[in-house]
Amino acid sequence: MIEIRADQASVQITLPTTGMSNEEVNDFVTWLRVEAVARRSKLSPAAAWQLSEDLKAGWWERNKQRFGE
Structural domain count of the chain: 1
Half-sphere exposure of 63 (CA within 13 A, CB side): 11
pLDDT of residue 27: 93
Q: Judge whether 40 lies within some domain.
A: yes
Full domain range(s) for residue 63: 18-67
pLDDT of residue 45: 86
**What is the DSSP-derived secondary structure letter of residue 17?**
-
Q: Judge whether 46 lies within some domain.
A: yes
- Profile the chain (69 residues) by mean pLDDT over runs of 10 residues: 94 92 93 86 86 90 83
Give, rounded to a whole angstrom, the gap between the first and last alpha carbons of the chain: 30
Cα 67 from Cα 60, distance rounded (Å) = 10
* pTM greater than the 0.95 cutoff: no
Q: Judge whether 28 lies within some domain.
A: yes
Cα 22 from Cα 14, distance rounded (Å) = 15
pLDDT of residue 43: 81
Cα 32 from Cα 13, distance rounded (Å) = 11
